[in-house]
Amino acid sequence: MSIIFKPKIREWFGTTPKPTKVVEARTVRPLKYWTSTELQKVVDLRALGVSLLDCAKLLKRGQHTISATIVHHDLYGRIAEKRAMHIASVMDDA
């Protein structure tokens, strides 16, 4: 028995060109920044107890965008103050 190299992989295995994948460029959406009036609307709506989903529909934004904006701009205090003001006005009238 002689030592002769017999390849186990066929010859054509390594010579075929790999198919190239064509990637189309994505269109980038323009950024829509929050204005102070929109932030005030978020505060007013949340103080009235409107859900995040309904706020998103009214402001034509995403639900997660509304919640992220509340966190990013730290609107919790302003919402709580506005809610307390609404409650106080109702209790004063009664």
37 occurs within a structural domain: no
> What is the model's pLDDT at position 2?
66
Domain containing residue 74? 45-94
Q: Are residues 89 and 50 in contact, defined by beta-carbon separation less than 8 angstroms?
A: no
65 occurs within a structural domain: yes
> What is the model's pLDDT at position 16?
62
* Contact partners, residue 79, CB within 8 Å, separation at least 6: 43, 46, 47, 70
Distance from C-alpha of 52 to C-alpha of 67, rounded to nearest angstrom? 7
31 occurs within a structural domain: no
> What is the model's pLDDT at position 94?
65
> What is the model's pLDDT at position 10?
66
> What is the model's pLDDT at position 1?
59
Which H/E stretch holds residue 55?
helix 52-59
Q: How many separate domains does the chain show?
A: 1
85 occurs within a structural domain: yes
60 occurs within a structural domain: yes
* Contact partners, residue 49, CB within 8 Å, separation at least 6: 83
Positions of the chain with pLDDT lower than 50, given as ranges: none
